[in-house]
Amino acid sequence: MSGKRATREAYGPTLVELTREGADIVVVEADLSKSTTTAKFAAAYPERFFNAGVAEQNMIGTAAGLASGGKVAFTGSFAVFATGRAYDQIRNTVCYSKLDVKIAPTHAGITVGPDGGSHQMLEDIALMRVLPGMRVLVPADVHAAAAAIRLAAATPGPFYVRLGRAAVPVIHPEGVEVGVGRAAVLREGDDVTVVACGVMVAEALAAADLLAADGISAEVVDAFSIKPLDAETLLASARKTGAVVTAEEHSVIGGLGSAVAELLGEHRPVPMRRVGVRDSFGTSGEPDELMAHYGLTAADIAQAVRELIGSS
């Protein structure tokens, strides 16, 4: 790892790069372009940028109309508004019609910080992964975020790319290769598999270091693609280690933990624990304080592993 950067930093600049390379991209924003970094795209390509104002449903509808005319349409806003306020439009206009709309909001999870529970979206992965045809990507760092945006732009149909506000450790190299339905084993291990996404990948790697000091060998998997999951990689790891812990900056209901539990329950039942927010809204605080408050730190992951291995 080297330095920290927010995943949202990749959004606007990557869209500019893609358009310069010839992609027929348009961006529809909901009056948050400075925060989401789509303002960088607006400055470079003002004729391709549309601000719907504080009207997320109109944002999605406009993006759908542009996509039906052949454009690759990306949308902005914060995750809580982009998915919650516009769910009907995403379901019935974008997904039902299989339109080339890429929903890539920022400020997901509790690491939004002091804005509090009204802005800390902890249910978006669940909302998006249940929609037919929607692909769900949760990049762990700024380089994976850039790769996710490129992947979404190049792949026809609806995508949800979850981006964050807070600076997080840089894990992947620039130009990292990613894919729909692909996970990455970042650390080999024999005793337990820790499957993480987004900001929790760095915490999982740190947890593996803590566990190594106790003589526990943890395999760490970056579940970049939550829908579809990389079933082959996850099942192979579960077969090898015989125990799985998931870690997500999201509710444990309906997110990564649920997706992995569904997979293992049908194909490879093993002892399992889920680290995440437990049926609660967020609250105001600094990102690091909130990670500790909700039990999302490396120490929390390591403790979940110790309890799981001790009880199995």
- Residues forming the active site: 56
CA distances from 140 to 7, 77, 89, 186 (A): 8, 20, 28, 12
Q: How far apart are CA 234 and CA 216, in angstroms?
A: 19
DSSP per residue, 144-200: HHHHHHHHHHHS-S-EEE---SS-EE--SPTT----TT--EEEE--SSEEEEE-TTH
Got the DSSP string for 240-286? HHS-EEEEEEEESSSSHHHHHHHHHHHH----EEEEEE-S----SS-
List the end-to-end C-alpha distance of the chain, in Å, as a whole number.
Answer: 33
Which strands form 72-75's sheet, in the order they lie side by side? 49-51, 25-29, 72-75, 101-103, 159-161, 135-137, 225-227
40 Cα distance to chain centroid: 22
214: helix, coil or strand? coil
Could you tell me which residues come within 8 angstroms of residue 137 by beta carbon, excluding any fewer than 6 positions away?
148, 151, 152, 159, 160, 161, 162, 178, 180, 224, 225, 226
